């Protein structure tokens, strides 16, 4: 059994913001989500394995409240959890699989780690680049992408959709090898 969590914030106000890349990736999968507790949930079967795709409705920084109960109820091991989230430490156009590590200031990832009591889950980090200054971090992640960034965002969303499906079918190592080196930033002068 597996669980893929797309991080984001509920509501139209946040729909096209940098912090909602995780939601956007799950939306690309064309799944039918239904409300369950503090989340939108889609149940699927992939090659004989039951799994779930989840969009927390708790707001980004409290994602663990929606993730942990499902993990416990279905006894899903941490290595079968993939969290898809935006990442300021990567430029726009880059994506990276990662196992474990630390939240590096990402409060949504920290919330999941705290609720599960471990960081032993997998992540698909989607680059959004750095804010103009550290103090503007919260404002930056809640801001919409600029019009000139959308062609790159679209390429990232398509690649991330394929990366998620790869992870479900093949696990982390082969998918990291396939996707971690991609640079989809064409149109931004190679800059993130």
Residues designated catalytic: 19
Instruction: Name the nearest CA neighbour of 25 among 68, 47, 55.
Output: 55
What CA–CA distance (Å, rounded) separates 29 from 178?
19
Q: Which helix (H) or strand (E) holds 108?
A: helix 107-116
122-127 and 81-87 as β-strands: parallel, antiparallel, unpaired? Answer: parallel
Please check whether residue 52 is in contact with residue 44, taking contact to mean a CB–CB distance below 8 angstroms: yes
Residue 155 half-sphere exposure toward CB, CA atoms < 13 A: 17
Strand partners, 82: 4, 122
Rounded distance between C-alpha atoms, residue 25 and residue 154, angstroms: 10
CB burial of residue 190 (10 Å; 0-12, 13-18, 19+): exposed
């Amino acid at each position: 059994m597996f669980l893929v969590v797309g991080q984001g914030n509920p509501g139209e106000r946040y729909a096209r913001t940098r912090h909602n890349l995780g939601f956007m990736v799950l939306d690309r999968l064309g799944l039918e989500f239904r409300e369950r507790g503090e989340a939108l949930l889609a149940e699927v079967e992939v090659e004989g394995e039951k799994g779930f795709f989840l969009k927390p409705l708790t707001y980004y920084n409290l994602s663990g409240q929606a993730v942990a109960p499902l993990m416990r109820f279905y006894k899903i091991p941490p290595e079968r959890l993939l969290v898809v989230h935006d990442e300021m430490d990567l430029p726009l156009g880059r994506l990276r699989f990662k196992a474990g590590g630390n939240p590096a200031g990402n409060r949504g990832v920290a919330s999941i780690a705290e609720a599960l009591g471990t960081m032993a889950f997998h992540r698909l980090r989607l680059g959004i680049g750095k804010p103009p200054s550290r103090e503007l971090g919260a404002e930056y992640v809640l801001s919409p992408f600029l019009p000139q960034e959308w062609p790159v965002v679209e390429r990232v969303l398509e690649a991330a959709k394929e990366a998620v499906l790869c992870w479900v079918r093949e696990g982390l190592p082969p998918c990291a090898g396939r996707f971690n080196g991609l640079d989809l930033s064409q149109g931004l002068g190679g800059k993130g």
